[in-house]
Every structure is written in structure tokens, then in C-alpha cells.
Amino acid sequence: MKLSVVSGGYTRFFIPDTCEALKYFANLGYQAIDLSLDGPYEKATKETGFEYTKQIQKTAKECNLLLYQAHAPASTDPNNQDIIKAISRSIEVCGFLGIENLVVHTIPTETKEEAIPVNVAYFSQFIPLLEKTGVNFCIENLGNFNDIHHYFKTADALNELVDNFNHKNFKICWDTGHGNLTNLDQYENVTKIGSRLGCVHVHDNYYPIFVPGEQYAFDGHNFPLFGNINFDAFIQALIDIGYKGTFNLETDTPNRRGHRDFVYKGEVTLKLKPIPFEIREKSDELLFTIGKYMLQRYNLWEE
């Protein structure tokens, strides 16, 4: 199994250039990339042609990186025309680059009863473009234990939505961290998804977190093995369903932190956030080592 990482971990915090991100991660040893098309900095989704997209293609080939999946922009408003255009453009970019899977977020709804019809109507408008390009929508599990607006948290709910389309271009992206925030059994849910699983987002967090008088969940996107997710269960599930995709790391540590703001003399003090690049570089080396270790322990590492 190829080890993959999300390009936005570099472009979002340091240099907003995807080609530079590909070179950076290839140098660390990664074999595949999850292309972040959901950021305002991404040139490929802003151009009308494919000039910069061709540069991404050329760089990926030179770096021997598989472009297996990408992440589309998202909105909570099904009528947001800017996001609809951005998703359409993301599909076109993925089609040009030969990216198989494009991760999308569902539209939150006020009631459970609205969830299926609202999201079926929303995603159906993209079917002609998916068929034309051969790109798959991979619908991601979202929400946490007390989120009443995101219905598609579990394998059962995701399967129900995907089966409503009855279309080969609709699959599922399982996010380990989001699953943990809903206190779900990783093995049970991934095996239920089975052949519908197109790609994964792998990161860690702690659930539940207790503080006096409250319980909360924070989507920390920590390094795997730096939280309380049972990754033995997750990896064994991938093996048992015959998953053929990449092992894709979607971490923001240590940039994404859930601490309260510190106000000093009337100003919010954030001297330690974000971290400097020289620390991030060392942490990225560690992240690669962790991902490789996890795959090697299950004899899944692919040279």
C-alpha cells in the first residue's frame, strides 16, 4: 500500500504552491498525494485552462508521486453557486490529472429526514461531469457525538446515501478522526462500508475529553498513535475488505490546536502559533516514519 499525505499540510501553512509541496513530500519519501483543491490558494482551480495543472502533472511524474485522491471545496449552503462552480472545476482538474477519487462533504440539515433528499439532490447535479471525467465522489463521514446537523457519521448512514445514487461514481471516504469523535468502532464501520470505500483520511485525536461540567470533542488531526484511536482495528478492516487505495495521512499537527485564546493587555497573544517551518519539517519527518512503521507492521509497505 502506498503511503500518501495531504498537500494542504504544506500549502496551507507555508508556501501556497502545490508543485513545491509535491517536491517537499516526495523528498520525505511519500509515494502518493492527496491534492488539496479546497484552499483559496490553489491555482489549478482558479485558472480557466490547464497550464498550472500541467505543471502539477509534470512535477508529480518527475517525483514519482501517485495522484490518487483530492479534496473538493465544501459549503453548508446547497445554493452556493461559487462552491458549485469550484466543485465542478475540481472534478475537471481531477479528470485532467487522472485523479480517481474526489472527497466531498455533505450538506448539513436541520432534521434527519431531510438529510437524504437534500444531499441526493445536491450531488446529483454533478453526475454528468463525473461520468465525463471518470472521477468518483467519495462522501466523507462528518460530525461528532453531539452534532445533530450532520447525519452521515456512520457506515450505515453513508451506505444509505451512496446506495441511493446506485451509481459507480459514488463511493465513501472514511475519516478515522471523525469516526473517533462519534465514538465509533473503526473495524465495524470500515468493514460495513466494504467495497464502497474509495479512499481514507488517517489522523488521530482523543475522545472523549472531559473537563469539569462538560464533555467535548476536538477534531485535532493529530499524528496517528498520538491519540486513542485503535489503528490495529482500522488497518485490519482495510485488509479484510481488500482495500486497494492509499494510506493517506491528513494531519495538521501541531498547527491545529484547540487551546483557548490568551488575551494579554487587550490583545490575543499567539506567538507560538503557527509553528516555524524548521519545526514543522522535523515533525513531517516523524509523521512519515510513523506512517511507514504502521504499514510495515502489517506487511503492507510498498517500496
Per-domain boundaries in the chain: 3-297
Q: What is the per-residue pLDDT across 146-194, written as a single tens digit (0 to 9) for each?
A: 889 999 999 999 999 999 999 999 999 999 999 999 989 999 999 999 9
Query: How deeply is 80 buried, as exposed, middle or buried, from its count of CB atoms within 10 A (0-12, 13-18, 19+)?
Result: middle
pTM of the model: 0.95
Cα 232 to Cα 298: distance, rounded to the nearest angstrom: 9
CATH number for region 3-297: 3.20.20.150
CA distances to 105, 247, 284 from 163, in Å: 17, 25, 38
Count CB-CB contacts under 10 A for residue 266: 5
Q: Which long-range contacts (CB under 8 A, 24 or more apart) does 284-288 make?
A: 284/9, 284/24, 284/25, 284/28, 285/28, 286/223, 287/5, 287/223, 287/249, 287/251, 288/3, 288/5, 288/28, 288/29, 288/30
**Which pLDDT score is estimated for 257?**
66
203-245 pLDDT, tens digit per residue, is 999 887 766 666 667 888 999 999 999 999 999 999 999 999 9
- Residues near 244 by Cβ (< 8 Å), separated by ≥ 6? none
